[in-house]
Amino acid sequence: MKVIAKLKNLHISSRKVKLVVDLIRNMNAVKALKILKYCPKKGSLHLEKLLLSVISNWQNKNKNLKIENFELYIESIFVNCAGMLKRIRPAPQGRAHRIRKRLSHITIVLDSKIKINK
């Protein structure tokens, strides 16, 4: 069963988050959590929380099923650009330079398959 979780208007540019997203794409959810826990990037903290949220969504959707019997994996994960906060910084000779503080949206789709015990 597919489950989706979204994080909107994250105050990090999408370019920085994509570096971390590429590490965990198409990976087992448990393994991805371990990677995100020890990744030094700022975006990894937000991705870890979002991944825990989507796992919790899967548990709420499948209350009668045990999570130990299923292998959860990240089917798709993507980062999109959101809006921009535009600020002005004083520059020499009475001019002004624009500062663009970029935002991003993150979406995770989690899927499950039955675990085969060997």
The pLDDT score that the predictor gives to residue 66 is 83
* CA distances for 110 relative to 7, 82, 113, angstroms: 14, 22, 10
Model confidence at 72: pLDDT above 80: yes
The percentage of the chain sitting over the pLDDT mark of 90, rounded to a whole number, equals: 85
The pLDDT score that the predictor gives to residue 69 is 85
Sketch out the chain's domains with CATH numbers.
Answer: 3-114 (3.90.470.10)
Rounded to two decimals, what is the model's pTM?
0.88
Helix or strand run (H / E) with residue 7: strand 3-10
The pLDDT score that the predictor gives to residue 26 is 92
DSSP per residue, 46-69: HHHHHHHHHHHHHHHHTTTS-GGG
Mean pLDDT of the chain: 93
The pLDDT score that the predictor gives to residue 118 is 58
